[in-house]
Amino acid sequence: GQNIDQPTEMTATEGAIVQINCTYQTSGFNGLFWYQQHAGEAPTFLSYNVLDGLEEKGRFSSFLSRSKGYSYLLLKELQMKDSASYLCAAPGDSGTYKYIFGTGTRLKVLA
Amino acid sequence: GAGVSQSPSNKVTEKGKDVELRCDPISGHTALYWYRQSLGQGLEFLIYFQGNSAPDKSGLPSDRFSAERTGGSVSTLTIQRTQQEDSAVYLCASSPGGSTGELFFGEGSRLTVL
């Protein structure tokens, strides 16, 4: 089966750190993506993990554990503009690039 | 163009009418995807193309939905006899293909069925 789970909503304060978790169950694995989507806009690419460990990119980092089917997105030094939905995506079937998205986590950053 | 282009950006139609949504991917991208996003929801996979062929059509909600891609470029998603539950934003994305295929999304076509 194909299943990707994320929390529905999170709230954090400007300047803080927030971790958004994603668990997945897919029959194959070709990497896990994180996308950011502001209200009314298209999703934009944030990160890609195919090997275990942490990938750091400025204020954003993404972690993957393939054995646990688990990933997280870490956002540091939160800014108001980080208020958005964060979508986790993974291939649904082995050997294909049919990317299945989680329902997304709506992050609200408060002043 | 530089990005994925979708048209129309907004479409209001009456229940029972047919609609066509168009997607122009980034030039040279071999993979093309259609997703549907209802208000406040995540992305629902509909179909993807590798070149002109669609290896996986399993996400199409019913036989009223069809999609084609010609010349390895433009794709059209057609919804026949639209129903109110078809109201959503239809997002198209393209990718260079391969194992690290980041998806580049268009701005979407917002469909409202009255």
DSSP for A8-56? SEEEEETT--EEEEEEEE-SS-S-EEEEEE-TTS--EEEEEE-SSEEEE
From the list B35, B101, B107, the residue facing A97 with the nearest CB is B101
Q: Do A45 and B50 touch (CB under 8 A)?
A: no
Question: Residue A103 and residue B42: Cβ atoms within 8 Å?
Answer: yes
Contacts of residue A102 in chain B, CB cutoff 8 Å? 42
The distance of A17 to chain B (nearest Cα, Å) reads 24
Closest Cα in chain B, distance from residue A69 (Å): 18
What is the nearest CA distance from B8 to chain A, expressed in angstroms?
Answer: 15
Assess contact for B7 and B92: CB atoms under 8 A. no
Token code pair at residue B101: 């295929």
Length of chain B: 114
**pLDDT score at A91:** 76
Give me the residue label for tokens 């400007």: A14
> What tokens were used for A66?
């393939």
Residues pairing with A61 in the sheet: A56, A74
Name the residue of chain A whose CA is nearest to B100's CA. Answer: A31
Q: pLDDT by residue for chain A (111 residues), tens digit each?
A: 568 899 999 999 999 999 999 998 876 676 889 999 998 899 999 999 989 999 998 999 999 998 899 999 999 999 999 999 999 998 766 556 678 898 999 999 999
Name the minimum distance, in Å, from the CA of B39 to any CA of chain A. Answer: 10
User: Taking 70 as the threshold, does the pLDDT of residue B1 lie above it?
Assistant: no
Q: pLDDT, tens digit, for every residue of B18-76?
A: 999 999 999 989 889 999 999 878 899 999 898 888 887 888 999 999 999 998 899 99
- Taking CA atoms, B32 is separated from A91, A93, B27, B36, B41, in Å, by 14, 17, 11, 14, 21
Strands A84-91 and B65-69: unpaired
- CA A15 – CA A76 distance, rounded (Å): 7
* Residue among B56, B103, B107 whose CB faces A96 most closely: B56
Alpha-carbon distance B108 to A79, whole Å?
26
Type of residue at B51: G
Residues of chain B with C-beta less than 8 angstroms from the C-beta of A42: 91, 105-108
B-proximal residues of A, 14-53, CB under 8 Å? 30-31, 33, 35, 41-45, 48, 50
Helix (H) or strand (E) holding B78: strand B75-79
b/e sequence B35-74, b meaning 16+ C-beta within 10 Å: bbbeeeebbbbbbbbbeeebbbeebbeeeebebebeebbe
Choose the closest CB to B108 out of A31, A42, A101.
A42
